[in-house]
Structure 1
Amino acid sequence: MDSEDFDPLHGEAPKEIPLSNAPLASVLCQVRFPEIVQVRDINFIGGFQEKVRASYPLFSSDLVQTFNVLPHALQSNQDQLWRLSDADANWRISLGANFVALETKKYSSRADFLKRLTFVLDALEETIRPTHVWRVGVRYVDRVPTSALGNIRDMLRHEMAGLSATELRSSFNYSVSEVACRVDEGNLLVKWGILPAHGSHEPEVMPQIDDESWFLDIDVSHEHHVAPRQFRVDELVFDAERKAARCYSFFRWAVTEEFLRRFGGEI
C-alpha cells in the first residue's frame, strides 16, 4: 500500500514493514484508572512487584510534580511513582495511584509489545485490582539525527517536510509543528520537526542527544469523559492494538519508501 493510497486517520492501517534499524526513541502505553490511594504505600504494591519481578527486577521510586489549574491559582503537588525495569533498563513499568504505563526504548514488534502489555495488565488486575479505566493512550516517538536522515525531500512526504525542505532550512534554530485531530480510535496528536543539538520537546520520553535531530511523536488516546469503562485486560489490549495500528498508519503516510529502506525495511 503506497502512502498516496490510504487515509492515515481512518480505516485499515497498512501492513507492517519491519525496520531492522528503526529510529524509535520510545514506545509507550498508558492506562489511567480512578485513583487507588493505597498504591502510594510501598507495602500495598509489594504483590504487584512480586508478580513482575522476574522480568522487571530493578525497582525504584520517584516523587513527581503534578499541577492542578484552579480558578485563581496553579496548585502544585508531589505524588509517589513506582518504577520497575528489566535488567538492561530497556523496558520500564511506571505505576502511580491512578495509572500504569509500559515503556520501551528497544521496540522489536507490535506483537511483542502487546504481549508484554498483557503481562503487566494481568499482574495489575490480580494484585492492585482497578475496576474501571478513564483513559488508554499509545505513543510512538521517532528521532533521527539529521546527518543520518539525508535529503529531507526524499525521506518525508512534502506536507511533512514543509519549510525544512526549502532554502530557509540553513537558517533554522528549530522547527516544530503540531496537529490534533479525531480518528476512529479517539484522538490523534502528532508533533514533528527539527530540534537543535541537546534539544528535546520532552526529555523524559526523548532524551537529549548531541546532534541536531528530526523527530516524529505520534500519540493516539481515548478518554471516557462521562463514565469510566470497566477494566478488562483483553479489551484494553485490543484497544491498545488498534491505537498502535493508527500510530503506524500515520507514520507510514508521513514517510517515503526511501525512508523505510534507509532504516532497514524491505520494500
Structure 2
Amino acid sequence: MELSDAIEVVQELLVAAQTFGRQAAARTKSSTFGVGTVSIDFDGGARSVVGGAGGAVLGRHIVLTVGPRWPSALAKSGCARYVQFVSTKSTEMCLDLPLYESIEFAHSPLVLVAAQINFEEVGEDVQHAQARDMQKSMPPEWTVLQNAPQFRTTLTPTGAVNEPKRSAYRLGTADGAWSLVINPDSVTLETRSYRSWDDMFEKLTTIAAAVAGVFDPAQILRVGVRYVDQVPLPDGRDSWQGLIPDSLLGAGLHPVLGQAIVGSEQRHLLQIDDQARCLVRHGMMADERQRPGGVYLLDYDVFNEHPSPFDVQKVRDVADRLHSYAGSLFRVCLTDELYAILRG
C-alpha cells in the first residue's frame, strides 16, 4: 500500500473522530527509508491514541506508519505494504514535542543505547540454570555467559551498610557489541554499536518474552530506554552558540564565565505525558584531544514507572513510545544548523 492509498483507510478514522465531536484533518509525510506516515491532527482535548510498532501518539496527533513489516486487518488484501492501527487507553501529553521522524544520520553522535525492564524481585539471586534458559531463548550469536555479582550499599542514619552480594549474570554477543545484564528484578540491554531501533526493538521483544518464560513475573514496574549522544564540535567552530539552543547553553553564553568553562552538566526531569518522564543530562565536556567544551553531551533516560501486569506486548508498546519521545527530545536540543551537519 503506497502512502497515498493509506488515506482511504484513514478516512474511517476521521469519521470515527467526528462521532466523538472532534474536528480532524489528515496530512502525509515521507521518511528517509521509504516508510511514510499518515498524521491525523485533532482539535484540543482529543483523547484518541495509537500504539504498537506501527503507530505513536504525540499530543494532538495520531501517527500511522506505512511500511513493509506491519500487517493489519485494515490493510487491503494483496497489497505489498500495510497499515497497522491499534487502539489503546488515553495518554495525556504534558510536553508539546515535534512529531518524531526516523532519520539515518551520516554522522551519528550516539555512544550508548540501553533499554531496561524492571519487575518485582523473583528471588534473591539469579540461578545459573535461569541464566542458561535466558541464553537459550536468544539468537545463536549470544555466546557469552558470565557471572556478574551485584553489590549494594544502603545509607542509614548510622552510616553505610553493605548488603550481601546478589548473584546476577551477563550475557553477551560473540563480537562484544551487545550485552544483557540479568538481575532478580530487572534486565538491561546495552550496546555501543547501535544500528537502528528496529534492530534493538527486535532484541528487546525477544528478551521480554524470555523473561516471561523463565521468571514469570507478575508485574512490569518500569520500562526505560536511554540514548547517550556525544556531539563533537564541528570543524571551524570555536563555540556551541548557534548549534545548541541558547536556552540550553546557560552559563556558556556568559561574557566572562563562558570563556573559562572547562566542563558543565545540567539535569532536568521532564514530565512528557501522564505516565512517561525523562531525565535529561546535557552539557559541555572535553574531547579526545582534551579541548574544553569540544564535545556536547546529550543524555536522555526516558522511562515509565506505572506498574501494569507483565505482558510482552505492553513492554513493546511502552518502549516504542519512549523511543519516539527520545528522538523528538534529541531534535529540539539541536539547532537546524547542527541537525543538518549531523544528518549529512
How would you bin the TM-score normalised by the shorter chain? 0.7 to 0.9
- Residue number among 108, 115, 118 corresponding to 2:202 in the alignment: 115
Q: Deviations over 1:40-64 (max 9, x none)?
A: 2212322111221513112222223
Deviation at 1:146, TM superposition (A): 3.9
Deviation at 1:21, TM superposition (A): 2.2
The alignment status of 1:216 with 2:298, answered yes or no, reads yes
* Structure-to-structure mapping, 1:152-163, within 5 angstroms: 152-163=240-251
CA RMSD for the aligned pairs? 2.6
Equivalents in 1 of 2:247, 2:272: separation in Å? 19
Do the aligned residues in 2 keep the contact of 1:179 with 1:190 (CA within 8 Å)? yes
- Residue number among 208, 211, 218 corresponding to 1:131 in the alignment: 218
Summarize the Cα distance change of 1:149–1:223 in structure 2 as closer, same or farther, 3 Å threshold: farther
Deviation at 1:247, TM superposition (A): 1.2
Equivalents in 2 of 1:149, 1:109: separation in Å? 30
Query: Could you say which structure has the greater relative contact order, defined with CA pairs below 8 angstroms and 6 or more residues apart?
Result: 1
User: TM-score, normalised to structure 1's length?
Assistant: 0.82
Aligned residue in 2 for 1:234: 313
Equivalents in 1 of 2:94, 2:243: separation in Å? 18
Secondary structure of 1:13's partner?
A: coil
* Structure-to-structure mapping, 1:1-267, within 5 angstroms: 9-10=95-96, 13-37=99-123, 39-52=125-138, 54-77=140-163, 78-146=165-233, 150=237, 151-167=239-255, 168-184=257-273, 185-196=275-286, 211-212=290-291, 213-224=295-306, 228-265=307-344
Mean Cα deviation higher: 246-255 or 164-173: 164-173
Do the aligned residues in 2 keep the contact of 1:192 with 1:216 (CA within 8 Å)? yes
Secondary structure of 1:239's partner?
A: helix
5+ long unaligned stretches in structure 2: 1-28, 30-58, 60-92
Q: Deviations over 1:1-31 (max 9, x none)?
A: 9xxxx99934663322221221011111111
Summarize the Cα distance change of 1:149–1:256 in structure 2 as closer, same or farther, 3 Å threshold: farther
Q: Which AA in structure 1 matches 2:262?
A: N
Q: Which has the higher helix share?
A: 1
Deviation at 1:193, TM superposition (A): 0.6
Mean Cα deviation higher: 8-17 or 104-113: 8-17
Secondary structure of 1:27's partner?
A: strand
Do the aligned residues in 2 keep the contact of 1:174 with 1:193 (CA within 8 Å)? yes
Q: Which AA in structure 1 matches 2:265?
A: V
Summarize the Cα distance change of 1:45–1:39 in structure 2 as closer, same or farther, 3 Å threshold: farther
Mean Cα deviation higher: 35-44 or 142-151: 142-151
Equivalents in 1 of 2:210, 2:236: separation in Å? 40
Aligned residue in 2 for 1:200: none
Do the aligned residues in 1 keep the contact of 2:251 with 2:258 (CA within 8 Å)? yes
5+ long unaligned stretches in structure 1: 198-208
Equivalents in 1 of 2:289, 2:150: separation in Å? 27
Equivalents in 2 of 1:8, 1:218: separation in Å? 17
Summarize the Cα distance change of 1:110–1:65 in structure 2 as closer, same or farther, 3 Å threshold: same
Secondary structure of 1:236's partner?
A: helix
Secondary structure of 1:214's partner?
A: strand
Q: Which AA in structure 1 matches 2:197?
A: R
Identity of aligned residues (%): 24
Tell which structure's C-alpha radius of gyration is larger.
Answer: 2
User: TM-score, normalised to structure 2's length?
Assistant: 0.65
Deviation at 1:143, TM superposition (A): 0.9
Q: Which AA in structure 2 matches 1:215?
A: L
